[in-house]
Chain A
Amino acid sequence: GDSVTQMEGPVTLSEEAFLTINCTYTATGYPSLFWYVQYPGEGLQLLLKATKADDKGSNKGFEATYRKETTSFHLEKGSVQVSDSAVYFCALPLQGAQKLVFGQGTRLTINP
């Protein structure tokens, strides 16, 4: 069945470092792909999305490109800030259903 695999965390970086969080997926067809972020003590927020192959989603300095060839949707940011500390979830909608399939989440901590 459809699934999402995320790199295991936690990830700890210094401020202004480059960030990559890997996400690969298994799916029938070409679903939309999402990155959600969950700040401490809060619900999930949609960070960015891509709806077809080669699309690049971007928001708040984060980017992710929908790569059909490698079935990947890696999240990147060129210069992280302390305020980016959160848990990041990669997700895709299950084909033919109203479900979101989530990766396990990656906890990111940015030190000043």
Chain B
Amino acid sequence: DTEVTQTPKHLVMGMTNKKSLKCEQHMGHRAMYWYKQKAKKPPELMFVYSYEKLSINESVPSRFSPECPNSSLLNLHLHALQPEDSALYLCASSQRGQASLYNEQFFGPGTRLTVL
């Protein structure tokens, strides 16, 4: 299994809703990532988990809450989002938990989020 899966594929939510995005990989990778991608822009890193511990938070607002229940799963809990949070949310994983020059990342297909 060489892929990263994400659910749901599409999500529409109101500003008062609570929802979660899920990401799963079965490649034995020890680092997992959340990215946000706006239209016609490159992905922007949000969070990095390394060996199931949060290692990087790129000053993301607290309405986004990541969780790594085990080495294969990564969640992103959403609460009280704003319309400008509408974007494609990408999950990625890489083999090594520590920083490495050879640490290529494998991306999932993304969740297209719309906040009304």
Contacts and interface: CB of A to CB of B under 8 A. Distances in A.
Interface of A: 29, 31-32, 34, 36, 42-46, 49, 51, 89, 93, 95-100, 102-105, 107
Interface in B53-67: 55-56
Contacts of A49: 104
Interface centre among B4, B31, B42, B56 (most CB of A within 10 A): B42
Contacts of A89: 42
B114 interface: no
Interface of B: 4, 6, 31, 33, 40-43, 45, 48, 50, 55-56, 88, 90, 92, 94, 98-110
Contact of A98 (B55, B88, B106): B55
A99 B42 CA distance: 13
A103 B42 contact: yes
27 contacts: A29-B101, A32-B101, A32-B102, A32-B104, A34-B104, A36-B107, A42-B110, A43-B4, A43-B90, A44-B43, A44-B107, A46-B104, A46-B106, A51-B101, A51-B102, A93-B99, A96-B99, A98-B31, A98-B50, A98-B94, A98-B98, A98-B99, A99-B48, A100-B45, A103-B42, A104-B41, A105-B40
A42 B110 CA distance: 7
Nearest to B45: A99
A105 B103 contact: no
Nearest to B94: A98
